[in-house]
Amino acid sequence: MTTVPRQTTAHPHTGILRTIYADLSKLAEYAADDMVLHRADRSVEDPGLCRGVQAVLAHEQALLRLTGNTLVMDVEHIAANEYFGAVLGILRATHPQDIAMPFCGLWRFEGGCIVEHWENAYRVAELLHLFTPTASRTTTG
C-alpha cells in the first residue's frame, strides 16, 4: 500500500472545483478534451456517458435551460487531492418548480486536468421528474 503525506492546506483542486460549481462555463478551462461525464440518470442499460468536453458542456447547458437558468449548486463541502475531488452540496432551482436536493459530485484528475466526473443526485428519479415539463407529464387516475 502506498501512503501519501497528509496535507494541512487545501489542495489546489479544491479551488478548481469551487470555481466550476460557481460557474459551470469554467469547466472547459480545467477539463481534458476527452473527459468523460457519467450522468446522474445512468443505469445498467444506459450508462449515461458524455464523452469529450464539448459534450459535457452541452449537457450542463441543457440542465441550465431546463431550469430556466435558475440552477444553482450550493457547495457545502469539498475534499480533494492529486487524484480525486468530492463535492457535497444542495442542488437548487426554482423552475419548472422549486428543487432542493442533496448531490455529490466525484471528480478524477490527471496531470491537473479533469478527466472524469460522476454526477450523483440523492433521488435521481424525482429530480428527472421535476425537470420534465408539466405539459408532457402523464397522469394516472
Tens-of-pLDDT digits for all 141 residues of the chain?
Answer: 666 666 568 999 999 999 999 999 999 999 999 999 999 999 888 888 999 999 999 999 998 999 999 999 999 999 999 999 999 999 999 998 898 999 999 999 999 999 999 999 999 988 887 766 554 444 444
Q: Are 48 and 62 in contact (CB under 8 A)?
A: no
4 part of a folded domain: no
* CATH number of domain containing 67: 3.10.450.50
Rounded to whole angstroms, the Cα distance separating 9 from 101 reads 29
74 part of a folded domain: yes
Q: Are 90 and 121 in contact (CB under 8 A)?
A: no
- How many domains, the chain? 1
Handedness of CA 20, 52, 38, 131 (dihedral sign): positive
79 part of a folded domain: yes
